[in-house]
Amino acid sequence: MVAVAETEPSSLRVQDVSKSFPAPDDPLTRRQALSNISLSIAPGELVSLIGPSGCGKSSLLRLIAGLDSPDSGELLIGSDPIHEPSAERGLVFQDPNLFPWLSVRRNIEAGLVARRVLREKRNEVDEFMRLVGLEAFADAYPHHLSGGMAQRVAVARALINHPKVLLLDEPLGALDAFTRMRLQDEVLRLWENRRTTMLLVTHDIDEAIYMSDRIMIMTQRPGRIDRDITNALARPRDRSSSEFLRLRSDILELLHFAGDATSLSA
């Protein structure tokens, strides 16, 4: 729809990134969360990152968002290194984290206000509220919204800045199965319209297969990328097709296999 990202390179590259955190029980020892992670995402690609909980998926996303900095390695958007958060990398958490003191409309506007461009781009607010189907709730406060609606607002709030990359940290993890499937379709629709590069962290294998071009599987402690599976299933995808189910069982097998391998090597 709005051709923004097309002209600029929005590829994301992560090169040999490691990150450790102080252990919660003993602050003097540091625990390796990510170890020599490398990945790259092409402009307009939708990539999923799956793996067991605690494998560092969210830490990696925070690094890409610029909220944390790596111990070593480099993160790049196009050719610009990432060293602080910026509106060009939107982030949606599992908890929508809407500002409870702002109405739905004001939450969606927040990015424009923060960048001091509200006056020029006010008309986009309506467009984004329509895009996520929340015009009727413009003046509602977040605690009146259902989980699915709140997450729609969170996605609209992140997209209004036209980020080059949208980072999704288990955005649909807290929703019920039906709402989740509906929102998966909505996010896909937004992605197909706008071709924003997206990196989706999830632990729902079906979601990863249904949505993404590529699925990266992470292993635990220290986190590293174990497999990188290209998902060539034709869109729109049928969750019950035999190809879908085959890919699903392959990944399940890989995850088990990956789990065994780490425990053997450790």
- Interacting residues toward other proteins by CB under 8 A: 62, 65-67, 84-87, 89-91, 93, 95, 97, 99-103, 110-111, 113-115, 141-143, 157-158, 161, 177-178, 181-182, 238-242
CB of 219 vs other proteins, minimal distance in Å: 26
Burial 85-106 (b: 16+ CB within 10 A, else e): ebbbbbbbbbebebeeebbbbb
What Rg do the C-alpha atoms of the chain give, in angstroms? 19
CB of 225 vs other proteins, minimal distance in Å: 23
d(CA 33, CA 46): 24
Nearest to other proteins of 47, 158 (CB atom): 158
CB of 135 vs other proteins, minimal distance in Å: 20
Nearest to other proteins of 27, 230 (CB atom): 27
Residues 6 or more apart whose CB falls under 8 angstroms from that of 100 comprise 141, 142, 143
CB of 206 vs other proteins, minimal distance in Å: 10
Nearest to other proteins of 71, 95 (CB atom): 95
Residues 6 or more apart whose CB falls under 8 angstroms from that of 105 comprise 125, 129, 138, 139
CB of 33 vs other proteins, minimal distance in Å: 17
Nearest to other proteins of 161, 220 (CB atom): 161
Nearest to other proteins of 143, 264 (CB atom): 143
